[in-house]
């Protein structure tokens, strides 16, 4: 097996085994109803996680996405409540703002040569603060267009509903896969994760790519915010706290190396589904408490980080042996 696919295979295996165990205990969990809900409930997280996948693949991190989601929901709610703009126009405006926001962070990371961790931390504070400036209350959204969007779904065989936002998440994952594996931009992202200096030597425009990566993450966080506002029909500046952590966890459990350069967008989808599955199981069980979700995710994180370290050791052993043989 190619070592590149090993974490992805492990993720897939964990997902299938987990699902099989769930099914053995609660046969109802295989219904399309459950699957439909799983997709709907995790749609906003999944969309944001696609952006996070690109950021992590490039060797960076984006702590701002939770705040950007909250900002987007508040922005939409406030504008809809105070103007007669059509929601679609508001969506477009929100996406432009969040994309520019991400691009600015990317530019600061590149031009000031600062660690993404601290730059996006500032972004996190700023976006959350802007949301508070707009409104500190939870603002309900009562536009009829929202009802229209929410009523759109495709009834799957078996009675499950694939909602608009669930479908949108799948579409984003599909586009993400194409972008990552079939475009020059995608290759550049992997190249940055493989080594910035080498990537630069090989002709990758590092600044341009970095800015695009964080702009993409901002765009998808904005889209995630739109989905979140559709999901909750409200805008709230305290919403989506800690979503960045869930997204990072999903990416890592999906088999992407946290240090960058290796992983798959499809893996992140599996990571999201595993996390959703844990929640669904806990709901089905009824006696287990919700905090087990966090603990299990933490354990999975550790397992995957440990696994990746192991693979890294195994693959570098050859190189290390040679290096040892030749000094430096």
Partner 1 sequence: MSSEPMLRVENLTKRFPGALALDAVDFSLKAGEVHALLGENGAGKSTLIKCLTGAYRRDSGEIVLDGQPVDPRDTFDAQKLGIGTVYQEVNLLPNLTVAENLFMGRQPLRFGMVDTRSMNRDARQMLAQYGLEIDVARELSAYSVAVQQIVAIARAVDLSGKVLILDEPTASLDAHEVRMVFDIVRSLREKGLGIIFITHFLDQVFEISDRLTVLRNGRLVGTRAIAETERLDLVTMMLGHELSQETREHAAERGGKPETRFRFRGFGRARSIAPFDLDIGRGEVVGMAGLLGSGRTETAEVIFGIRPHDSGSAEMDGAPLALTSPRKAIAAGIGFCPEDRKTDGIVGDLSVRENIILALQARRGWARPLSAREQNTLADRFIKALDIRTSDREKPIKLLSGGNQQKAILARWLATEPQLLILDEPTRGIDVGAHAEIIRLIEDLCAEGMSLLVISSELEELVAYARRIVVLRDRAHVTELGGAEIDTDSIVRAIAADAGTEIGT
Partner 2 sequence: MNAETLGAVRRFLPQIVALFAILAINTAVFPGFLDITVQNDRFYGSLIDILNRGAPVALLAIGMTLVIATKGIDLSVGAVMAICGAVAASGVAGGGSVAMAVTTALVVGVACGAWNGMLVAMLGIQPIVATLILMVAGRGIAQLITEGVILTFNNEGLAFFGSGSIFALPVPVLLWIGMGVLVAFVVRRTALGLLIEAIGVNRRAATLSGVNSHVLLITVYMISGLCAAIAGVIAAADIRGADANNAGLWLELDAILAVVIGGTSLLGGRFTLLGSLIGAMIIQSINTGILSSGFPPEFNLIIKAVIILLILVIQSPALRTFVVFWRGPKEEVFDKEQSAP
Question: What sign for the dihedral angle of Cα 231, 121, 52, 205?
Answer: positive
Contact, 78 vs 234, CB < 8 A? no
Name the minimum Å distance from CB 114 to partner 1: 19
Task: DSSP letter for 288, please.
Answer: S
CA 95 to chain centre: 16
Per CB under 8 A, which region of 12-20, 44-52, 107-115, 174-182 contacts partner 2? Answer: 107-115
Contacting residue, 51, 255, 261, 271, with partner 1 by CB under 8 A: 261
d(CA 317, CA 182): 31
CA 165 to chain centre: 15
Name the minimum Å distance from CB 227 to partner 1: 27
Considering only residues 239 to 278 of the shown chain, the ones binding partner 2 according to CB under 8 A are 241, 245, 248-249, 258-259
Count of beta carbons in the 10 Å neighbourhood of residue 272: 29
d(CA 300, CA 295): 9
Per CB under 8 A, which region of 71-79, 108-116, 231-239, 320-328 contacts partner 1? Answer: 320-328
| Residue 251 parent element (H or E) | helix 243-253
Name the minimum Å distance from CB 243 to partner 2: 12
Contacting residue, 136, 147, 183, 290, with partner 1 by CB under 8 A: 183
Kindly state whether residue 118 participates in binding partner 2, applying the rule CB under 8 A: yes
Contact, 208 vs 50, CB < 8 A? no
Kindly state whether residue 78 participates in binding partner 2, applying the rule CB under 8 A: no
Name the minimum Å distance from CB 239 to partner 2: 13
Count of beta carbons in the 10 Å neighbourhood of residue 319: 9
Site for partner 1, rule CB under 8 A: 2-4, 178, 182-184, 186-187, 190-191, 193-195, 198-199, 201-204, 261-262, 315, 318-319, 321-328
Site for partner 2, rule CB under 8 A: 61, 108, 111-115, 117-119, 121-126, 128-130, 132-133, 136, 237, 241, 245, 248-249, 258-259, 289-299, 301-302, 305-306, 309
């Amino acid at each position: 097996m190619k070592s590149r696919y090993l974490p992805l295979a492990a993720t897939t295996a964990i997902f299938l085994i987990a699902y099989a165990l769930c099914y053995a205990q609660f046969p109802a969990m295989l219904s399309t109803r459950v699957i439909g809900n799983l997709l709907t409930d995790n749609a906003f997280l999944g969309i944001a996680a696609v952006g996070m996948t690109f950021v992590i693949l490039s060797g960076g991190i984006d702590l701002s996405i939770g705040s950007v989601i909250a900002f987007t929901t508040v922005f939409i709610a406030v504008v809809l409540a105070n103007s007669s703009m059509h929601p679609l126009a508001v969506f477009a405006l929100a996406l432009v703002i969040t994309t520019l926001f991400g691009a600015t962070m990317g530019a600061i990371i590149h031009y000031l040569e600062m660690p993404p961790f601290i730059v996006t931390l500032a972004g996190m504070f700023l976006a959350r603060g802007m949301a508070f400036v707009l409104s500190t209350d939870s603002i309900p959204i009562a536009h009829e267009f929202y009802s229209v969007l929410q009523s759109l779904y495709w009834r799957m065989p078996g009675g499950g509903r694939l909602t608009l936002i669930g479908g949108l998440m799948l579409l984003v994952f599909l586009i993400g896969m194409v972008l990552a594996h079939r475009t020059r931009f995608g290759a550049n992202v992997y190249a940055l994760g493989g080594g910035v200096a080498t990537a630069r030597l090989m002709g990758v425009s590092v600044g341009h790519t970095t800015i695009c990566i964080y702009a993409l993450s901002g765009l998808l966080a904005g889209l995630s915010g739109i989905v979140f506002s559709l999901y909750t029909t409200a805008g709230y500046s305290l919403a989506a706290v800690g979503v960045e952590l869930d997204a990072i966890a999903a990416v890592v459990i999906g088999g992407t190396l946290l240090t960058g350069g290796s992983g798959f967008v499809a893996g992140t989808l599996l990571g999201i589904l595993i996390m959703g599955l844990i929640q669904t199981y806990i709901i089905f069980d009824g006696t287990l408490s919700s905090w087990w979700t966090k603990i299990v995710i933490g354990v999975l994180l550790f397992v995957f980080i440990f696994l990746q370290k192991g693979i890294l050791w195994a693959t570098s052993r050859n190189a290390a042996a040679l290096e040892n043989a030749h000094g430096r």
